[in-house]
Amino acid sequence: MSLSAKRILLVISGGIAAYKSLDLIRRLRERGATVRPVMTRAAQEFVTPLAVGALSASHVYTDLFSREDEQDVGHIRLARECDLIVVAPATADLMAKAANGLADDLASAVLLARSRPVLMAPAMNPMMWSNPATRRNVVLLKEDGVTFVGPAEGEMAEAGERGVGRMAEPLDIVAALEALLDAGPKPLAGRTAIVTSGPTHEPIDPVRYIANRSSGRQGHAIAAALAKLGADVTLVSGPVTIPDPQGIRTIHVEQAEQMRDAVLSQLPSDIAVMVAAVADWRVTTSAGQKIKKTPGEAPAPLQLTENPDILRTVGHHEKRPTIVVGFAAETQDIEQNGRIKLEKKGADLIVANDVSPETGVMGGTRNRVKLITESGVEEWPELDKDEVAERLANWIAEHLNQGAVR
C-alpha cells in the first residue's frame, strides 16, 4: 500500500466541492492511510460529520472549544499527530486565515500550530481565485512552505459559468500527496517508457482535417501513472485541449507521420504504451488553400493514403521495447478484434474497449476495458480513466519485473 501507516489530517472547509472529500477519504484509506478529519462549521452545511466519520472510521473534530477534545489542547495534538495535513477543499476564506495567521476556529488553529507539511486543494469561483487578495494569499502560503494541487479548469456550480477554480480530483490530490511524502513505491525506477496520446489531425486543406474523437485523457493519465511508479516517461501527444502531465517530457505533434517519427526517436525503451487514436488515413496531397464549394456541384473526391501503423512498427522493431501495449478502440466484436490486433501488431497486451457513441468513452472521463494477452482475457469494471491508468501501470510493472507477459 503506497500510503500504508501514514497519518493524514484532512481539513474540510465549506464549499460545494466538499462532497469530493468523501471520495478522497476512500482513496486515502484504500492505500493504507489513516485519516483524521477536521470540519469547519461551513463544511457541515455541505457534508455531514456522520458521513465523514463513517468513511474515515474516525472521530470527526469540529469545535475548537469542545470540552472533550480540548481537555489536552486538542488542536496542538491534531497538528502534531500526523504525517501531513491536507486541506480539501481549501476555500478562499480558510486560505486567507492561514496566510495571515488567524485562528478563530479549529481548522485555522490547527494550521497555525502545524509542524507538518501542508497540501492545499483550492476550490472556489474563478473570480474569487483570480482576485488579487487570493493571489497574494497564495504567494504568502507558498513562501510559508504550503504546497498546492489545482485548482483545475472546468464547469462551476453556478449555471453556465466556467473557469479555473474546480477542486483537483481526489486521485490527483492523492498523487500530489504521495509526491510530497515520497511514499509511493517505485517499481519502475530506472525504466524508460513511451506513451502516445490523443488524436492525430491529417490536413485536407488549411482549415479542414481528418481526425478521431480522442480527448487524450486516457493516454495522459497512463503517462502520469507510469511516472508515479518511477519510470522516465516521454509522452507523444497529438492535438488535445488538456494540459500536459506535470513533470513529464511531452512531445507535441499533429500528424501520424510526426507521431511515428517522435516515437521511433525515443527507442530503445523498456515500455511502449500506444494509446493514441491515430487516423488510419491521410489525404494524399492536402490543398494549399481552403477548398471552396461551388453551389450545385459535388466536391472533388479525396484521394486517401494509409497512415503508418505505429503500434505494428514498434511491435516488430529491431529495438522493440520489452513490453509493448496497444489499445483497440472498437464498436463491435471487441474481444475478437482485440485478439486479431494482438497477433498482427506484435504487442504483448491489447487494452480493448467499446467506444460506441452511447458509451461516452471517447471524450469522457470513464472507461471499461478488457486486457487481452496470449494467455487469456481479463475484464475490468467501469472505472475512472485515472483508475484504469493506475491499474495498467501496476500491471506493466508487475509483468516487466517478472520478465514475462505472454
Catalytic entry in 125, 131, 212, 337: 212
What is the rounded CA–CA span in Å between residue 241 and residue 233? Answer: 20
Q: Which residues of 344-373 are buried (b: 16+ CB within 10 A; e: fewer)?
A: ebbbbbbbbbbbeeeeebbeeeebbbbbbb
- The CATH 3.40.50.1950 portion of the chain extends over 7-181
What rounded mean pLDDT belongs to the chain? 90
Least confidently predicted of 71-85, 94-108, 253-267, 380-394 = 71-85
- Known active-site residue 401: no
Spatial contact of 392 and 377, defined as CB atoms under 8 Å apart: no
CB within 8 A of 160, min separation 6: which ones?
A: none
pLDDT greater than 60 at residue 256? yes
Q: Greater confidence, 66 or 310?
A: 310
- The CATH 3.40.50.10300 portion of the chain extends over 192-402
In this prediction, residue 404 has a pLDDT band, given cuts at 50, 70 and 90, of: low
Q: Which residues of 197-236 are buried (b: 16+ CB within 10 A; e: fewer)?
A: bbbbbbebeeeebbbbebbbbbbbbbbbbbbbbbbbbbbb
Handedness of CA 149, 155, 158, 161 (dihedral sign): positive
Please give the CATH superfamily to which domain 7-181 belongs.
Flavin prenyltransferase-like (3.40.50.1950)
The predicted pLDDT at position 44 comes to: 94
pLDDT greater than 90 at residue 195? yes
Q: What is the mean pLDDT of residues 132-147?
A: 92
Residues flagged as binding site for CTP: 280, 290, 308-311, 327, 341, 345
Closest by CA position to 35, among listed 64, 60, 67: 60
299-326 pLDDT, tens digit per residue, is 888 999 999 999 999 999 999 999 999 9
Residues flagged as binding site: 280, 290, 308-311, 327, 341, 345
Half-sphere exposure at residue 90, Cβ-oriented, CA atoms within 13 angstroms: 29
Residue 173 backbone phi and psi in degrees, to 5: -65, -40
The predicted pLDDT at position 339 comes to: 92
The predicted pLDDT at position 405 comes to: 60
The predicted pLDDT at position 5 comes to: 86
In this prediction, residue 355 has a pLDDT band, given cuts at 50, 70 and 90, of: confident
The predicted pLDDT at position 70 comes to: 57
CATH number corresponding to 192-402: 3.40.50.10300
8-48 pLDDT, tens digit per residue, is 999 999 989 999 999 999 999 988 899 999 999 999 999 99
pLDDT greater than 90 at residue 159? no
pLDDT greater than 80 at residue 73? no
Q: Greater confidence, 51 or 71?
A: 51
In this prediction, residue 264 has a pLDDT band, given cuts at 50, 70 and 90, of: very high
Spatial contact of 132 and 106, defined as CB atoms under 8 Å apart: no
The predicted pLDDT at position 367 comes to: 87
